[in-house]
Amino acid sequence: MMFSVLGAGVAGLCAATALAERGARVEVIDPSPDPTGASWYAGGMLAPYCEAEAAPDEVFTMGRDAVRWWAERVPGVLKNGTLVVAPARDAVELDRFARATRGHAWVDPGTIEPDLQGRFARGLFYAEEAHLDPRAAARALRDRLIALGAELHFGTGATPRGQIIDCRGLTSRDHLTELRAVRGEMLLVETPEITLSRPVRLLHPRFPCYIVPRGENRFMIGATMVESDDDRPVTARAAMELLSAAYTLHPAFAEAAIVEMGAGLRPSLPDNVPRVLHRGGRCHINGLYRHGFLTAPALAEELAQTLFQEHRHAS
Amino acid sequence: MFYKTELSSRLFLGTAQYPSPAILAEAIRASGTEVITVSLRREGPGGGVFRDLIAATGCRVLPNTAGCHSAREAITTAHMAREVFGTNWIKLEVIGHADTLQPDPFALLEAARVLCAEGFEVFPYTTEDLILGEKLIEAGCRVLMPWGAPIGSGQGLRNIEGLRSMRAHFPDIPLVIDAGIGAPSQAAQAMEMGFDAVLLNTAVAKALDPVGMARAFRQAVEAGLAAHRAGLMPRRDMAAASTPIFGMAALA
């Protein structure tokens, strides 16, 4: 049995991995020679507890085992938790966040992130959470797939030879009409002046943001959420909001070099819950919204299990 | 009557910041609202799919100019809204201060004059200032939307006496409390004071259970309206016994 996974974003790579690990013949086809799409701009936070602030329980359940899944397969999964803080004026946001989530403890932020010493009176620490560099993780998963015997075809010209597993993100709107885009904008900055060991979320009533340390003095600042499928570059407003949030977290970010600005479109279903869908004779993993690296492993395992059960019954 | 439209629900709902469009749709149903307001400035033409989801709720759409800081921006956004939603209704919001989101009264009036002259039915987000209100009516507005408190602050009716004067000053103009409502009790209070409707967003969208909160606001707005119609007793400075006290011993 041969599977043709369409799309080499996080959904496609995880699906191919789950199938290849069960011994299936797998090919991954992506028309783009370079990585693009929502996965490329992801934050890489494995934060089921924090995400549950706005996401339903299903997302938490899917994300619970993500840390283990990634850590068993790729290097660089850092299990340092998440820190959530708010400027003094917005301290009530922190109370609300605490009420809306589980798995946290109140901390003095300076005790776990020394560079934030004295900047915030209190914070929430989510010890069970982790983060990874999504670009490095995707690379590692691609290499691992090749080692597992999968074929990877990038660029146009490849015709699928097996059962189609559609992981094309927004491009799948031709099959999944309910998909919509939620635009997200991010910045990558570099400064040797600040050290953070874990993602820090800064709560704000209008533009909450997060800063994820990427190593080598780099930090990803994200991300906006705009109900739009406009894929133009980062807007000035978004850049100002994200930078002012970073500056609020630590003024030394003012002197950081901006090394990248990116805007991506998150494929999203009406309830913003990622899903495995079986429709029109093909299987889809789609609607990963802002939960790609968090939920793709669980969706991939669900898909692989279903397909293998079907094959057992059929044979 | 809001521009010749009779509404049985007096709760207008915003559509931003919900966990998902599905929860938004459910909250709209639970709130019983007939009017929802939608922003365009940031989303631009690319927000079509979200707007289709909104339109599918069957509610009347009151597009808004949130995020506009000048009369010109607001007018352009209103034109786009008319094209996109096919309605002359526009919630006119011209922000004067980026942090408090306080309306800019001068730009608001300027934009209201232009849009009214172009046939728009303008719902201006304004302060409780009476003279500004008069000038907006002179410009052609037939609804005024005074703020309760700054947008998203949840502080309720911050200037009750000012709002009371406004209600008394414009007895025949529909007045909608727009912004600042954080709790159902505050919405009920506005309705008890005789305001015609309340418009809110954050209090429902950012509740831990938006659908449950939408239901709570529906009940509060209904209760406040019913209380106003039934006639509230006046506040008195002394205690008034409800049984006769004639013949009681005077002990002083």
Stretch A113-140: mean pLDDT:
95
pLDDT for residue B242 is more than 80: no
Per-residue model confidence as pLDDT tens digits over A234-256: 999 999 999 999 999 999 999 99
Higher per-residue pLDDT: B4 or A73:
A73
**Is residue B123 within 8 Å of B145, Cβ to Cβ?**
yes
Higher per-residue pLDDT: A30 or B47:
A30
pTM metric for this prediction: 0.87
Beta bridge partners of A218: A190, A215
pLDDT for residue A204 is more than 90: no
Instruction: Give pLDDT, residue A251.
Output: 94
Residue B206 annotated to the active site? no
Please give, rounded to a whole number of angstroms, the shortest distance from the CA of A226 to a CA of chain B.
Answer: 6
pLDDT for residue B244 is more than 70: no
- Taking an 8 Å cut-off on Cβ atoms, the answer to whether A228 and B44 are in contact is yes
Q: Is A230 on the interface with B (CB under 8 A)?
A: yes
Interatomic CA distance for residues A287 and A183, integer angstroms: 13
Confidence band for A206, pLDDT divided at 50, 70 and 90 = confident
Coil vs helix vs strand at A243: helix
The helix or strand, by DSSP H or E, that contains position B224, with its residue range, turns out to be helix B210-230
Higher per-residue pLDDT: A312 or A72:
A72
Q: Is A90 exposed, middle or buried (0-12, 13-18, 19+ CB in 10 A)?
A: middle
Q: Is B20 exposed, middle or buried (0-12, 13-18, 19+ CB in 10 A)?
A: buried
Interatomic CA distance for residues B3 and A235, integer angstroms: 37
Stretch B191-202: mean pLDDT:
96
- Taking an 8 Å cut-off on Cβ atoms, the answer to whether B23 and A180 are in contact is no
* Exposure class string for A40-67: b at 16+ Cβ within 10 A, else e: bbbbbbbbbbbbbbbbeeebbebbeebb
- Taking an 8 Å cut-off on Cβ atoms, the answer to whether B20 and A100 are in contact is no
pLDDT for residue B252 is more than 60: no
pLDDT for residue A262 is more than 90: yes
Confidence band for A218, pLDDT divided at 50, 70 and 90 = very high
Q: Would you tell me which residues 16-75 of chain A have a C-beta closer than 8 angstroms to some C-beta of chain B?
A: 54-56
Identify the CA nearest to A289 among candidates A52, A18, A39: A39
Q: Are strands A45-46 and B89-92 parallel, antiparallel or unpaired?
A: unpaired
Stretch A9-27: mean pLDDT:
96
Contacting residues of B for A50, CB less than 8 Å apart:
none
Per-residue model confidence as pLDDT tens digits over B117-162: 999 999 999 999 999 999 999 999 999 999 999 888 889 999 999 9
- Taking an 8 Å cut-off on Cβ atoms, the answer to whether A230 and B152 are in contact is no
Stretch B213-228: mean pLDDT:
97
Confidence band for A199, pLDDT divided at 50, 70 and 90 = very high
Q: Which segment of B148-157, B199-208, B212-221 scores lowest on mean pLDDT?
A: B148-157
Identify the CA nearest to A127 among candidates A70, A56, A208, A46: A46
pLDDT for residue A128 is more than 90: yes
Instruction: Give pLDDT, residue B247.
Output: 63
The helix or strand, by DSSP H or E, that contains position B181, with its residue range, turns out to be none
For A32, A98, B80, the CA distances from A158, given in Å and listed in that order, are: 11, 49, 43
Confidence band for A36, pLDDT divided at 50, 70 and 90 = confident
Confidence band for B250, pLDDT divided at 50, 70 and 90 = low
| Residue B179, marked binder | yes
Per-residue model confidence as pLDDT tens digits over B12-52: 999 999 999 999 999 999 999 999 999 887 777 778 888 88
Instruction: Give pLDDT, residue B55.
Output: 84
Rounded to the nearest 5 percent, the helix, strand and coil shares of chain B are: 40, 15, 45
Instruction: Give pLDDT, residue A276.
Output: 97
Instruction: Give pLDDT, residue B246.
Output: 65
Q: Which residue of A96, A228, A270 is in closest CB contact with B47?
A: A228
Interatomic CA distance for residues A97 and B208, integer angstroms: 9
CA-based nearest residue in chain B for residue A98: B208
Instruction: Give pLDDT, residue A261.
Output: 95
Rg (CA), chain A: 20
